[in-house]
Amino acid sequence: MGEFVSVEVADQIATIRLDRPKMNALSGQAQREIEEAAGIVDADPLVQAVILYGGERVFAAGVDIKEMAGMSYADMATHSTALQGCFTAVARIGKPVIAAVTGYALGGGCELALCADFRVAGESAKLGQPEILLGLIPGAGGSQRLPRLIGPAKAKDLIFTGRHVPAAEALAMGLVDRVVPDEQVYTAALEWAATFVGGPSVALRAAKQAVDQGLETDLDTGLEIERLQFSGLFATEDAKLGMKAFMEKSKAKFTGR
């Protein structure tokens, strides 16, 4: 698709593949290509699950520091909007998204993984938000998505210290969901993604929106978001097929409509 980011689709699973040697540093161009890839897989009705993958060696070591080092406040005030927009586009993919994390997922790489619904990490993977060591803070969602995922105290530990978290600790704190041998990371993500293929894609999108949007508001508003999504699904063919199959004690064959 682009110079640094490609989209490959097989068996209704899309893989957004980062390929910017040596460490998949997320340059401005790579960010734009990621945002474009997110739009492509979100809009493709044949895609039912998505994997974020940086290859066997590294997920992404962060935003390109060399590119940012010469920026002024005025430059970054503009660029930071585009930076966050790239990551938000990934977070808003209306399908299950799994980050397959190998090697380093640091800074922007960790923030990209946070945009997925689930994270599978290799045993030797390391994650973290080391921006504080540069005199900065996370700028692509880390200060917001990380505490929502693992709680404020643990998030502050990672953000304040900038330390790299090994896979086992990341699993214990809820930063990743599964840890597997390094060579099995992509296969494990693929097997997980396959469980969503053939599912009720409209309901999956509604469920993701209800959870994600509900986390951003109070309980009463969240319940109203749920009520509207729940009610709306009664207009879908999939809901009729699902309930009919339940009553007939058979397995529903969903159509995505």
Q: Are 42 and 97 in contact (CB under 8 A)?
A: no
Among residues 3, 56, 123, 131, the one annotated as catalytic is 131
Hey, what domains does the chain have and what are their CATH numbers? 5-194 (3.90.226.10), 201-247 (1.10.12.10)
Is residue 125 within 8 Å of residue 178, measured between CB atoms? no
Q: Can 131 be counted among the known catalytic residues?
A: yes
pTM above 0.75, yes or no: yes
pLDDT of residue 78: 86
Cis (ω within 30 of 0) for the bond into 22? yes
Number of neighbouring beta carbons within 10 Å of residue 252:
18
pLDDT at 133: 95
Q: For residue 62, what pLDDT is reported?
A: 86
Catalytic residue among 111, 169, 224, 248: 111
Q: Is 178 exposed, middle or buried (0-12, 13-18, 19+ CB in 10 A)?
A: middle
Residues 174 and 150: beta-carbon distance below 8 Å = yes
> What distances in angstroms separate CA 7 from CA 74, 123, 205, one per listed residue?
33, 26, 20
Residues with Cβ within 8 Å of residue 81, at least 6 apart in sequence: none
pLDDT number for residue 4: 96
Is 35 marked active-site? no
Residue 66 is predicted with a pLDDT of 86
Which of these, 61, 205, 212, lies nearest to 145 by C-alpha position?
212
How many angstroms separate the most distant Cα atoms in the chain? 65
Instruction: Give the mean pLDDT per block of 10 residues along the chain (257 residues).
Output: 94 97 92 96 97 96 86 89 93 98 97 98 98 94 96 98 98 98 98 97 96 95 96 96 94 92
